[in-house]
């Protein structure tokens, strides 16, 4: 693990998003059923999974520091062709929470897939990316809503 002992304790916040592409029949079925499947409430379950994953990132990703997370939110909203999930994590610490936000968004997306796969396997987790981070050596804010161009 990286030595963060000499770093200053600051409030650090990071937000990440995951985008999910859903076939039209899945979108229609979810709307009709109040965002439920046979497994239960899709959005509520995905939100819980995202928060749990963010809190346990250090157990999943080697060399991540265990952090006393102060706040974690997971929001799910309709997006063209599917869903947009945003996970925001905050902590007062010597290291940032980008990995926690990314892990939370990814786990929420995977949970949506799991809960909807009986409706279709043609579900795609299209992207997981950092939207913003603050409080560390350098801040970051994505300036465009579009994915970065591939090189």
Catalytic residues: 114
Under a CB-based contact definition with an 8 Å cutoff, are residues 130 and 106 in contact? no
Q: What is the DSSP letter of 117?
A: T
Distance CA(4)–CA(103), nearest Å, equals 21
Under a CB-based contact definition with an 8 Å cutoff, are residues 24 and 97 in contact? no
Partnered with residue 103 across adjacent β-strands are none
Terminal C-alpha separation, the chain: 30
* 3-state SS assignment for residue 129: strand
CB-count exposure of residue 96 (10 Å: 0-12, 13-18, 19+) = buried
């Amino acid at each position: 693990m990286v030595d963060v002992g000499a770093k200053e304790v600051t409030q650090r916040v990071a937000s990440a998003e995951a985008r999910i592409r859903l076939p039209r029949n899945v979108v229609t079925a979810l709307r009709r059923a109040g965002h439920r499947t046979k497994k239960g409430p899709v959005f509520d379950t995905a939100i819980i999974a995202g928060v749990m994953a963010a809190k346990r990132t250090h157990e999943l990703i080697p060399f991540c520091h265990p952090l006393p997370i102060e706040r974690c939110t997971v929001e799910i909203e309709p997006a063209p062709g599917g869903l947009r999930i945003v996970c925001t994590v905050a902590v007062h610490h010597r290291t940032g929470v980008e990995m926690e936000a990314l892990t939370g968004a990814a786990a929420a997306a995977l949970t949506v897939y799991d809960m909807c796969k009986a409706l279709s396997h043609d579900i795609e987790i299209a992207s997981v990316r950092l939207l913003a981070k603050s409080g560390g050596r350098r801040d970051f804010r994505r300036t465009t809503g579009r994915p970065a161009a591939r090189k």
